Amino acid sequence: MKSMEESDQSSSLDIEGLPAELSSMRSVLHQAALQTLLEHDDKSYVISISFTGDDKITALNEERLGRTGPTDVIAFDLSEKGLPIDHVGDVYISVDTARENAGKYGVTLGEELLRLVIHGVLHVLGYTDSDSRDRVRMEQVQESMVKRFSSKLKL
């Protein structure tokens, strides 16, 4: 298993749009996303994680996926065969829906955002949750990562 320090210099993992009041989480969210990539032996990647509100994620959900209403996370795997990069993707997370879900599930907002970051990265890596078997496999990996990083959150 590679450490976070051993990541490929040509790789990129960007986090954008995290509200100022949540900025103390940026480092942990970045570390968790990076470690998820590294533990899946991803050698090169260009991934953008964007935090947004329900308005933008609802528009993305409708325009790109044909679904109505807001959702918590949308991930687009933009990887193509023949590219010199293993994984390319965009992850969008609604802070509004995450906040609502945190209350609903009795977890902190930080833990819920952490869960959604990892969930989105796993989708970019090819995990699916479209059937129960795949969903269970994905949730096991996701929750293992959440458990490892949640104690590092300040919120």
Report the CATH number at residue 68. Answer: 3.40.390.30
> 81-109: per-residue pLDDT in tens?
888 888 999 999 999 999 999 999 999 99
Domain that holds residue 80: 9-149
CB 62 within 8 A of CB 49: no
Distances, alpha carbon 6 to alpha carbons 21, 31, 88, 106, in Å: 30, 13, 19, 36
Q: Residue 104: inside a domain, yes or no?
A: yes
80 lies in a domain? yes
What pTM did the predictor assign? Answer: 0.91
Inside any domain, residue 103: yes
Residues 22-35: pLDDT tens digits?
999 999 999 999 99
Tell me, yes or no, whether 105 lies in a domain: yes
Determine the Cα–Cα distance for residues 22 and 72; give it in Å rounded to an integer: 17
